[in-house]
Chain A
Amino acid sequence: MALSPVGAEAPSRTTSVPFAIDARQSMSPEPAEAVFDLRDVSIYYGDALAVRGVTMTIPKNVITAIIGPSGCGKSTIVRTLNRMNDSVPGFRVSGLVGYHGQSLYAGGVDPVEVRRRIGMVFQRPNPFPKSIYDNIAWAPRILGLKHDLDERVEKALRDAALWDEVKDRLRSSALRLSGGQQQRLCIARAIAIEPEVLLLDEPASALDPVATMSIEDLMQDLKRTYTIVIVTHNMQQAARVAERTAFFSLDVSEGHRAGILVEYADTATLFTRPADPRTRDYVTGRFG
């Protein structure tokens, strides 16, 4: 029981022995340091297999995009990276979800601490019904980062390219901001606790094109400081923002529908010279 995911009877259990050396080997063509290292990761909801056998490495300070048709497990896989799925009844994971050489689902790992280091922004902007200031300051205050709170709030808002728009109304309700502003506020809120990774789960799908563009610009600034994983159903968006792109698809072989990782490569390669015919069909718009 050294490695202890939510479900105790998950198959193909690996031990929690550090595998950093192993991971580096597989990363040899990649210059960047690996943040996540997924080994044969399968994700289940109850008896249903949602994602099967994903093996991929996510490098540091790079934007990695996850694309694919709906239902292919894009969100599932990204929510597994910060243990947001723990509260979903029946969720369990098998294989190894490595984060800096440590298994995220090992017995001693505290999911709350995991989420503190691996921030997340959701599809729909979800600011708290509080003031703009309190939206940002709330979590640092609880987590004991009370020193220079005003500065911290300002820095987060500046980094999220929102400061100039809201600096005069920090005390007014966050719910009065536009959708795009709310989403940047959520990004500011996430980076205010200084995570290492930002997981963005379709962050622009509820926004208009102008707001979407501002979020994409913002990501380019943020990747200097953070490792970013973005889930998107918008191929153009992946092509615009990401260095690396993973294409997921639904696989119906073996009688079950499950998401699989079809191809993972540099974005340019994936879109111009895909190795897999399924990727080619998807990126050329023949399905999905």
Chain B
Amino acid sequence: MANQVGAVLTPGPGLRRRRRTDRLMRASATAAAMLAVAILAIMVGSVAVHGASQLSISFLTENPAGGSLVGLAGGGIANAIIGSALLVAVATAMALPMGVLIAIYLTELSTPRTARPVRLALDLLNGLPTIVTGIFVFGLLVASHGQSGIAASFALAVVILPVITRTTQEMLLLVPRDLRDAAHALGISRWRTITSVVLPGALGGILTGVVLALARAAGETAPLLLTSSIFSSHTTLNVFGAAIPNIPIDIFSYSESPFPVEHAKAWGAALVLIVLILVGNLTARALLARQRRRLGVL
């Protein structure tokens, strides 16, 4: 009896092989997952190591020394930080109302048949190489009027439109159907229900989308190469005028320079950019968690 049980419980050669395969697959999957974390850590780490020496108050508050890429030490990227903020703000101002309206259409007004092409278009737009967006805006605005802040912002708006739409849409779907029914049953019109019940309920989520979009737009480089590619020591605030200096183009310009002192500045600018984007993404996650909790309580 005991012998029999032992024979059943001791693995035969087939089972041993399967167990080895099982262990191997599990180890590979775990390793791949850890690699993802490692890649982020190594990238952020190396940018931090190279860029930290550049970071100083003057790097953040002063404009570039000299005015062109001639290998001067000192100076900072203040005008690029301001320029990036400006471009991203204008882009968001353009994309936000439209994104929210599209999301309202998709969740509240469309039928499955009319929603499908819109959703597909947004997915394709989201997957479009941003250099293509840049070329499109180049042909549309830059070829005739020259580079300008507004051209760059427009290109960035096209890039972030799907981001804003998608997050807003997800948040609108989280607002319970019960609340819409309650408003409808009180003789409140559909649009009024959307503006007074659905949108306020989703506000936190829409803010999350905005923050994600800001982070995405801040780091976009390809469209800016074609629409606002300038290195200068001046602060430009007129979006409708000439090209506006910005962080991604500064990083690009410094890294192309022959002077080692400017390579260091490229690392410094990259560190500033990466910190801004990480902070933005983490803020968005925190906002999102808060929103889900709030709606969960409902």
A-to-B contact residues, CB < 8 Å: 82, 84, 87, 89, 112-117, 119-122, 124, 126-129, 138-139, 142-143, 175, 186, 189-190, 193
Contact = CB atoms under 8 A, between A and B. Distances in A.
Interface stretch (B12-20, B176-184, B239-247, B281-289): B176-184
A121 B182 CA distance: 8
A115 B183 CA distance: 10
A126 B179 contact: yes
Contacts of B192: 142
A63 B38 CA distance: 68
A82 B186 CA distance: 10
Nearest to B176: A126
26 contacts: A82-B185, A87-B184, A112-B189, A112-B190, A114-B187, A115-B185, A117-B187, A119-B185, A120-B185, A121-B185, A122-B185, A126-B176, A126-B179, A127-B182, A128-B183, A128-B197, A129-B179, A138-B196, A139-B183, A139-B186, A139-B187, A143-B187, A143-B188, A175-B297, A189-B182, A193-B187
A115 B187 contact: yes
Top 9 closest pairs, chain A to chain B, by CB: A116-B187, A126-B178, A120-B185, A139-B186, A115-B187, A126-B182, A112-B189, A112-B187, A115-B185
Interface of B: 111-112, 176, 178-179, 181-190, 192, 196-197, 201, 297-298
Contacts of A113: 187
B237 to A, nearest CB: 41
A143 B196 CA distance: 13
Given A122-B178, A126-B178, A175-B297, A84 B196 contact: no
Contacts of A142: 188, 192, 196
A138 B185 CA distance: 13
A193 B181 contact: no
Nearest to B297: A175
B111 A89 contact: yes
B188 A139 contact: yes
Given A112-B188, A126-B178, A193-B187, 16 more contacts: A82-B185, A84-B184, A87-B184, A112-B187, A112-B189, A113-B187, A115-B184, A115-B186, A116-B187, A121-B185, A122-B178, A128-B183, A129-B201, A143-B187, A189-B182, A190-B186
B246 to A, nearest CB: 41
A124 B178 contact: yes
Q: Is the interface of B mostly helix, strand, loop or mixed?
A: helix
Contacts of B183: 128, 139
Most buried by B among A119, A124, A126: A126
Nearest to A143: B187
Contacts of B189: 112
A116 B182 contact: no
Contacts of B176: 126
B180 to A, nearest CB: 8
B113 to A, nearest CB: 9
Nearest to B109: A87
Nearest to A129: B298
B294 to A, nearest CB: 8
B286 to A, nearest CB: 21
Nearest to A120: B185
A175 B185 contact: no
A138 B183 CA distance: 9
A186 B181 CA distance: 12
B112 A186 contact: no
B186 A116 contact: yes
A186 B182 CA distance: 8
Contacts of B181: 84, 120, 122, 126
A115 B185 CA distance: 5
Contacts of B297: 175
B135 to A, nearest CB: 40
Nearest to B175: A129
Contact of A119 (B112, B186, B190, B197): B186
A206 to B, nearest CB: 11
Nearest to B108: A87
A143 B183 CA distance: 12
Contacts of B187: 112-117, 139, 143, 193
A115 to B, nearest CB: 5
A190 B188 contact: no
